[in-house]
Amino acid sequence: MKTVNIRQLKSNPGTALAAARADGMVVVMNRDYPQALLVDLERLGVPNLPAVRVALAVTLFRSAAVSAGFAARTAGKPLAEMLTLFSSQGIPLTGNDESAADEALAEMRTAL
């Protein structure tokens, strides 16, 4: 197991990722204290890694951390399939709530 400090992680993240790929995990140190673990998903030993990638992509999209396209690429799925998955789980495809979307639609109709 390798350790890197935050400065090393910022300046050369590829080195930390390569170390995680080789050793399975890297401990990220903040000053002299362990702050985080960088874990290689393929070395984690989960029985269904593609399902884990889909779950991560859905979670990232739901929290508005990534776009639908990025989530689809992360999951290794076509965009249309991811949009269908989001919809089936009741995850809104836009950042607006339903009333805001209705208002925007009404404004567009009056503008036309």
3-state secondary structure 50-93: HHHHHHHHHHHHHCCCCCHHHHHHHHCCCHHHHHHHHHHCCCCC
Over pLDDT 70: what percentage of the chain? 94
109 assigned to some structural domain: no
Q: Are residues 36 and 66 in the same domain?
A: no
Q: Longest Cα pair distance anywhere in the chain, in angstroms?
A: 62
The model carries a pTM of: 0.70
d(CA 3, CA 9): 10
Q: Residues 18-70: pLDDT tens digits?
A: 999 998 899 999 999 999 999 998 888 888 999 999 999 999 999 989 999 99
3-state secondary structure of 13: helix
Q: Which domain holds residue 20?
A: 2-43
Q: Are residues 35 and 53 in the same domain?
A: no
107 assigned to some structural domain: no
27 assigned to some structural domain: yes
Helix pair 68-75, 49-62: axis angle to 10 deg: 170
Q: Residues 84-110: pLDDT tens digits?
A: 999 999 998 876 567 766 777 777 788
Q: Are residues 54 and 85 in the same domain?
A: yes
Neighbours of 20 (CB within 10 A): 21
Q: Are residues 90 and 59 in the same domain?
A: yes
31 assigned to some structural domain: yes
